Structure 1
């Protein structure tokens, strides 16, 4: 089965204005995100997270603390019958110009290699142009969650209001609904 990659902040949880989620207490689920992940999990899709987390590279958050937030996120999803196979994150700042920081597709390629995934048959759901650029660079179908209307004219992109709408679109497109 093809896989679905999700950005974290702005797709799964609310973004913090001008800052970073640095504690589990600050992590606030977006409405319907747990249900959308459960819906996709129940249909057999492999779900992964690919997220830039420059807060680590900036010294705002320790990598262990970020991994703890991700552990609690995965645990909370599991309590609700939803499953994320693995979280991939880039801890680097934009200045490092690493291959894993979106818009570069390094995290996606790493996930594909580690898990035997076909990215050309997979989806990336994100809320930014850099997410869509990473999807494009990896040969994936991108679904944009936000108001960047200019992205609608690009090949292989769809726009959704939220993660649940994106999940339903994927299931309809795949003939699973």
Structure 2
């Protein structure tokens, strides 16, 4: 059997509803319908899951890393309750003006997944909702899937490999692709 495929998932707009003023507290975090079940389904089908997220609200002083970690623990706990697991949450806490290498569209967080967790980026899939996600995937050599539940409601101009309505459709596409690779 082939090794499990890795799926890198953006948080806001894919798992969590986007807020114009940032998701700053656990109480403000609204998980999108079907997202937890979709993540658990991937994990139950032997895919490695990583959440890759820009969280500039930390850099702007609007929230803390500890509060963001509480949000991630809730997501992780809900996925575990459904029989799945998220291997890690990789977070860029910087603002766009900080000039860091980890903030998408730069691929630094994806390289962290490669270097720290042994992720094969050439066989990985990144699921995101914005052009910055797709650009990071392309820079790291990943397949990209754009979901239309967040920043890119139309998908125009992102250059993604695939565009789907939501994370559930992204998971269906990933699982169908994995099944095809395994053969009849």
| 1:149 CA displacement | 2.2
What per-residue deviation string (whole Å, max 9, x for no partner) do you get for residues 89-116 of structure 1? 1000000110000000000001111111
Query: Would you say the 8 A contact 2:37–2:79 is kept in 1?
Result: no
1:31: how far off? Answer: 1.2
**Distance in 2 between residues matched to 1:137 and 1:120, nearest whole Å:** 11
Q: Which runs of 5+ in 2 are unaligned?
A: 149-153
Is the partner of 1:144 in helix, strand or coil?
Answer: strand
* TM-score scaled by length of structure 2: 0.90
Cα displacement (A) at 1:130: 0.2
SS of 1:4's equivalent in the other structure is strand
Residue 2 (structure 1) aligns with? 5
Q: Contact conserved, 1:34 with 1:82, CA < 8 A, in 2? A: no
1:149 aligns with 2:147: no
Q: How many residues align?
A: 173
Match of 1:27 in 2: 29
Q: Which blocks of at least 5 consecutive residues in structure 1 are unaligned?
A: none
- 2:71 — aligned with what? 69
**Match for residue 158 of structure 1?**
162
The aligned counterpart of 1:40 is: 42
> Do 1:2 and 1:119's aligned partners in 2 also have CA atoms closer than 8 Å?
no
Determine which of 119, 125, 131 is the counterpart of 1:117.
119
Contact 1:4 1:124 in 2 (8 A): yes
Deviation at 1:85, TM superposition (A): 0.6
In the other structure, the counterpart of 1:12 is 15
Q: Which moved more, 1:141-150 or 1:116-125?
A: 141-150
Contact 1:145/1:162 (8 A) holds in 2: yes
With normalisation by structure 1, the TM-score equals 0.93
Equivalent residue, structure 2, for 1:52: 54
Residue 85 of structure 1 corresponds to 87
